[in-house]
């Protein structure tokens, strides 16, 4: 049967959860951001205002008529409100700050008014629209995004009206027949363009309400001026008064209402809504069925978007705090670490000269193992090398035995995983200090000697070496090189000073055998056995330190799939280790100290921060599209600049060439997203109770020896911090 037939027989392939869930999260975040930009008039809004044109097409009776224009029939009619009647109208709301204060003032004097709402504001603050209706006020449309309709097509006008009604239906369960165009004033100011819009609006079933008096409160001329502008121009005359409850600081408007309402009431005026003033039926019509549910769905989506964006903003602040805190700690504590260990008089204690055992767990490492063994044979420290072949099927053990290198032994075992291989190696070790490395790693001649010197301090139970990327010539290799130098080794200096090193790297680490035996050896409870054993040693009271000159060159994954597999195991294993040692949070002594210092730092910097880091790029994209573009790009470049500063300092401490940092911006844009998806997949696996096994990466043997620049064999330099 052909492969195609097999695929047809199995049916359509399903998208794996590790791809599906991140994709759904991304789509949801993008949708919420687009909806937020939509209701905040950050896109699809048109802020142009047209210049006045001629008035020769506007009927004279309209120009000389009242402010209420009914163009629904073949002949337009206009209306004025009766004497001693005031219709207070408020444009551009509802606003969460000023609309409640306006409503409070109206309620204090039992006054009614008309609120010409924008759909964008109504969708964001539906509770205020409901309050307007519940308190007897009338609602009119003021478009969705507040454009000048003189400059819009009829399709755009229809869209503005429909979206405005949709927001009103979702907020209050009604629709309205009242309309006021943005940037309008008096009927005598209508020109040919605005009259054409008015006629079209009338044909859509709306009454257009302009005004008699314009308070000009939008200009904030002062409370006295607002009152003077709003007052009827003739004794006892009625008026439609234009005010605003949104669009800026409306404190003067609120104060003016507090004086104007009692003054006009004492003069015999009544304050009512427009249809009551004209003696017609209410402009409100209840909606039901599909129209109601569409409105509720839209307003509900806006509410969810607003709340979610609020949460995302808080999370962005959290990640920003974590990022800057980590950078500050890295720079300060790595400086202190380097200054301490590079002092001319620094010493861990008596020099360690006795032989040590080097364990090399290997599973199908045929392409790499010879390079590893040759590098160990060149060590300037006496070593016993044990290669533990974990059931390899490619002849790895045969390669080592054929080399016949003195001091190198091969231990064969059925495939049982890396922890089992290491424990088997420990059982065969002849010496009290055990060095562990990977089968794809090469050591410099001085690596073992540098790695074991900290054991001159009897409190030290384990030592982390300086793992470096050997195959850094590709773009993905260069990105990992930056990560190793900055993200791993700079972190290890930080954790060394704080005495809470979370991980001895599998590529280069050393252990006191008695310390391993006290904690029960390597455990297979987690996929990150190196992190697990390190945390166990901390809890047992041992000190774990970092030896910067114990360099090991490892072959990093050369494809996205291989990198994904490796980091998936690392991330998931780290989560497992944190969970396994969670009791350290409440324990006393050394375990409690690690639990209350180390576990929170590891959780914050290795789990939470990487998971939230893509928010920086999401908000960058949002800011570029919707603005403010300049400030957003500047903020992102500021974060990148701080990262570059830390990376440059890390490279200088490790005496690495700075040229690889040219790919840092691209790494931050692309690599971070990959790490986010990997970490999210790890969370999914953890929450669903899934398990992973020890995964084998395909190796090419690209790292055949330590680079010449890093292959110095002279004693450790004691120069001050670079």
**Which amino acids are annotated catalytic?**
91, 244
In 3D space, the residue among 416, 135, 84, 115 whose CA is nearest the CA of residue 268 turns out to be 84
Compute CA 71 distance to the chain's CA centroid, rounded to the nearest angstrom: 51
Q: Dihedral of the CA atoms 601, 602, 607, 608 (nearest 10)?
A: 0
409 beta partners? 386
174 beta partners? 286
d(CA 588, CA 590): 7
d(CA 695, CA 699): 12
Residue 657 CB contacts under 8 Å (≥ 6 apart), including other chains? 651
Report the run of H or E that residue 214 belongs to, with start and end. Answer: strand 213-214
**How many CB atoms are located within 10 Å of the residue 722 CB?**
11
Contact 587, 602 (CB under 8 A): no
d(CA 90, CA 244): 4
Cis amide leading into 46 (omega within 30):
no
**What are the backbone dihedrals phi and psi of residue 467, each rounded to the nearest 5 degrees, phi first?**
-80, 130
End-to-end CA distance of the chain: 65
d(CA 55, CA 187): 11
Residue 397 CB contacts under 8 Å (≥ 6 apart), including other chains? 362, 387, 389, 410, 412
In 3D space, the residue among 540, 541, 356 whose CA is nearest the CA of residue 453 turns out to be 356
Compute CA 497 distance to the chain's CA centroid, rounded to the nearest angstrom: 30
In 3D space, the residue among 218, 125, 132 whose CA is nearest the CA of residue 176 turns out to be 132
What is the residue-wise DSSP string for 657-682? -GGGGGGHHHIIIIIHHHHHHHHHHH
d(CA 498, CA 332): 12
C-alpha separations of 481 from 51, 198, 317, 368, 617 in Å: 60, 66, 29, 20, 22
Contact 467, 505 (CB under 8 A): yes
């Amino acid at each position: 049967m052909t492969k195609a037939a097999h695929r047809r027989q199995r049916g359509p392939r399903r998208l794996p959860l590790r791809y599906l869930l991140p994709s759904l999260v991304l789509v949801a975040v993008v949708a919420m951001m687009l909806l937020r930009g939509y209701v905040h008039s950050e896109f699809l809004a048109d802020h142009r205002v047209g210049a006045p044109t001629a008035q020769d097409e506007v009927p004279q009776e309209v120009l000389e008529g009242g402010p209420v224009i009914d163009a629904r029939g073949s002949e337009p009619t206009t209306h004025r409100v009766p004497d001693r009647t005031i219709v207070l109208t408020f444009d551009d709301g509802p606003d969460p700050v000023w609309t409640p204060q306006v409503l409070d003032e109206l309620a204090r004097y039992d006054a009614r008014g008309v609120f010409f709402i924008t759909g964008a504001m109504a969708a964001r603050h539906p509770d205020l629209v409901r309050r307007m209706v519940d308190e007897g006020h009338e609602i009119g449309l003021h478009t969705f995004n507040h454009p000048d309709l003189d400059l819009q097509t009829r399709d755009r006008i229809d869209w503005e009206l429909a979206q405005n009604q949709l927001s009103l239906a979702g907020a209050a369960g009604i629709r309205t027949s009242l309309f006021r165009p943005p940037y309008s004033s008096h009927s005598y100011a209508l020109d040919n363009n605005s009259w054409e819009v008015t006629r079209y609006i009338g044909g859509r079933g709306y009454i257009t309400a302009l005004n008699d008096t314009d308070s000009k409160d939008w200009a904030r001329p002062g409370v006295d001026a607002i009152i003077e502008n709003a007052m009827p121009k003739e004794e006892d005359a009625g008026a439609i008064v234009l005010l605003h409850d949104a669009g800026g600081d409306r404190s003067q408007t609120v104060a003016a209402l507090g004086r104007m309402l009692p003054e006009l009431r004492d003069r015999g005026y009544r304050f009512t809504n427009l249809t009551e003033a004209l003696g017609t039926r209410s402009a409100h019509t209840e909606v039901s069925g599909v129209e109601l549910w569409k409105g509720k769905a839209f307003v509900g989506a806006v509410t969810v978007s607003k709340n979610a964006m609020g949460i995302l903003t808080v999370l962005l602040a959290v990640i920003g705090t974590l990022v800057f805190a980590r950078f500050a700690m890295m720079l300060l504590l790595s400086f202190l670490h380097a200054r301490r260990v590079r002092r001319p008089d620094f010493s861990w204690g008596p020099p360690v000269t006795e032989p040590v055992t080097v364990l090399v767990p290997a599973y199908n490492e045929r392409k790499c193992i010879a390079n590893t063994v040759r590098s160990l044979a060149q060590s300037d420290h006496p070593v016993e090398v044990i290669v533990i072949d974990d059931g390899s099927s490619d002849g790895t053990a045969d390669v080592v035995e054929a080399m016949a290198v003195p001091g190198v032994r091969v231990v064969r075992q059925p495939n049982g995983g890396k922890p089992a291989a290491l424990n088997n190696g420990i059982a065969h070790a002849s010496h009290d200090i055990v060095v562990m490395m990977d089968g794809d790693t090469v050591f410099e001649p001085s690596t073992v000697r540098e790695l074991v010197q900290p054991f001159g301090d009897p409190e030290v139970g384990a030592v982390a070496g300086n793992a470096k990327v050997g195959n850094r010539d590709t773009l993905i290799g260069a990105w990992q090189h930056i990560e190793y130098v900055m993200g791993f080794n700079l972190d290890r200096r930080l954790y060394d000073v704080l005495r809470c090193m979370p991980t001895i790297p599998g590529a280069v680490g050393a252990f006191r055998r008695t310390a391993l035996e006290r904690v029960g050896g390597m455990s297979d409870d987690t996929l990150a056995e190196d992190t697990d054993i390190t945390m166990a040693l901390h809890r047992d009271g041992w000190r774990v330190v970092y030896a910067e000159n114990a360099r090991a060159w490892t072959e990093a994954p050369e494809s996205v799939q291989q990198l994904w597999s490796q980091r998936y195991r690392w991330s998931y294993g780290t989560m497992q280790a944190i969970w396994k040692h969670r009791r350290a949070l409440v324990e006393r002594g050394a375990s409690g100290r690690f639990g209350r210092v180390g576990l929170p730092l590891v959780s914050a910097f290795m789990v939470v921060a990487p998971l939230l880091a893509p928010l920086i790029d999401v908000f960058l994209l949002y800011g570029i599209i919707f603005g403010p573009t300049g400030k957003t790009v500047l903020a992102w470049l500021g974060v990148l600049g701080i990262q570059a500063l830390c990376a440059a300092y890390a490279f200088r401490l490790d005496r690495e060439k700075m040229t690889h940092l040219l790919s840092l911006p691209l790494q931050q844009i692309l690599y971070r997203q990959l790490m986010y998806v990997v970490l999210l997949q790890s969370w999914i696996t953890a929450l669903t109770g899934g398990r992973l096994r020890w995964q084998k990466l395909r190796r090419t043997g690209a790292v055949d020896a330590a680079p010449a620049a890093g292959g110095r064999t002279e004693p450790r330099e004691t120069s001050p911090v670079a």
